Amino acid sequence: TREIHLSTRPVGLPGPEHFETVSVDLPDLADGDVLVRNTVLSVDPYMRGRMNDVKSYVPPFQLGSPMDGGAVGIVEESRSDQLAVGDTVLTMAGWRERAVLPAAVARKLDVSRVPASAYLGVLGMPGLTAYVGLKRIAELREGDTVFISGAAGAVGSVAGQVARQLGAGRVIGSAGSPEKVSWLVDELGFDAAFDYHDGPVARQLKEHGPVDAYFDNVGGEHLEGAIFHMADFGRIALCGAIAGYNADAPEPGPRNLMMLVSKRITMRGFIVSDHADLTSQFYREAGDWLAAGDLTYRETYFEGLDQMVEAFRGLYSGGNTGKMLVRL
Ligand code: NDP
């Protein structure tokens, strides 16, 4: 079977030269193990951080061993009574075609109502991130004007719709193309959206403020622009800062941080895995919204393991609408 290894640590945007595809023989199954054939691999921005050899909330990828990441697949062999051949499972054994792993680290998925891939996006880690960020970190209140950057991505597209479900007054989004902006407004129910290439965020956001809650996926100019237009006592949930992930050195922060004082703003970062206690509540609510048609989602597919690196690079050039995935 084939798996992708990190061969050297990238500086800047990763390219094919930083990875190698390696053919390996899978080990025999021990008691309690399953053999999983991956069908869909997740491609996520946070993986860029794991390519650096620095201490963070997840350890760095090791050079010369398989990288991991979310994946869904089918059990092909089982020596566990927890999982049977044919079961669909969610694992962290991504970036490869097949894996042998203990059944205990695979989660059996209910694919009777949604495709397995949904558990990598809308019903998975990105969806939960949107929910946690709005509900617990931004403490969304009825009637709030909410601004979401990276709004056409996996997290952002769920965040906009969840904000509406949680009672937001107005939902504003920013994204990187006219097509994405139309998708937000015409299909996802955003009240307004703009393409951040059309002019400075601070200028484009002006007509939509003041913003009570800002869900930041982008950082940089977006964060500075949002701070300018926050309402007094506004709340900012720092989810990510993708604009800076490939920078060689830390980028200067917002120049207007003093406005946090004058406007009495709360700004708080978070990592979704610290909020696993909200998982079952999220599944219940998101499942209901999906069934009712109040939550819709899109996926962007690259085909085949050989496209994995291109798909990953695509995250940094806006190549995805909704969740970025690779189908095997
Ligand atoms: P997305 O599906 O949003 O994919 C990334 C998108 O970011 C691209 O499609 C692109 O869309 C946009 N983008 C890329 N570069 C830039 C740039 N320089 N300026 C503005 N936009 C840019 O990824 P996810 O939904 O998976 O993740 C979104 C954010 O959430 C990331 O910052 C990620 O790190 C973070 N995250 C945080 C978690 C947590 O626990 N805190 C958990 C999961 C994700 P466009 O065309 O609009 O530019």
Domains of the chain are 2-118+298-327 (3.90.180.10), 125-273 (3.40.50.720)
Q: pTM of the predicted model, to two decimals?
A: 0.98
| Complex prediction ipTM | 0.99
pLDDT at 251 over 90: no
Q: Output the CA 39–ligand 1 centroid distance in Å.
A: 23
pLDDT for 170-183, tens place per residue? 999 999 999 999 99
User: Under a CB-based contact definition with an 8 Å cutoff, are residues 28 and 41 in contact?
Assistant: no
User: Under a CB-based contact definition with an 8 Å cutoff, are residues 193 and 149 in contact?
Assistant: no
Q: Output the CA 76–ligand 1 centroid distance in Å.
A: 34
User: Under a CB-based contact definition with an 8 Å cutoff, are residues 327 and 301 in contact?
Assistant: yes
Q: How much is the pLDDT for 249?
A: 86
Q: How much is the pLDDT for 250?
A: 85
Bridge-based pairing state of the strands 145-148 and 107-108:
unpaired
Q: Output the CA 241–ligand 1 centroid distance in Å.
A: 7
Residue in 155, 218, 251 to alter for ligand 1 test, most ligand atoms within 8 A of Cβ? 155
Residue in 174, 242, 268 to alter for ligand 1 test, most ligand atoms within 8 A of Cβ? 242
- Collect contacts of 135-140 with beta carbons under 8 A, ≥24 apart: 135/162, 135/166, 135/278, 136/270, 136/275, 136/278, 137/235, 137/237, 137/239, 137/268, 137/270, 138/213, 138/214, 138/215, 138/235, 138/236, 138/237, 139/213, 139/235, 140/166, 140/167, 140/168, 140/213
67-90: average pLDDT: 98
Q: Output the CA 186–ligand 1 centroid distance in Å.
A: 21
**Beta-carbon contacts of residue 45 (< 8 Å; ≥ 6 apart):** 240, 242, 245, 315
Q: Output the CA 273–ligand 1 centroid distance in Å.
A: 17
pLDDT for 205-229, tens place per residue? 999 999 999 999 999 999 999 999 9
User: Under a CB-based contact definition with an 8 Å cutoff, are residues 81 and 131 in contact?
Assistant: no
Q: How much is the pLDDT for 183?
A: 98
What are the pocket residues of ligand 1 if the criterion is a CB atom closer than 6 Å to any ligand atom? 44-46, 126, 129, 150, 152-156, 175-177, 180, 217-218, 239-240, 242-243, 270-272, 315-316, 318, 320, 324
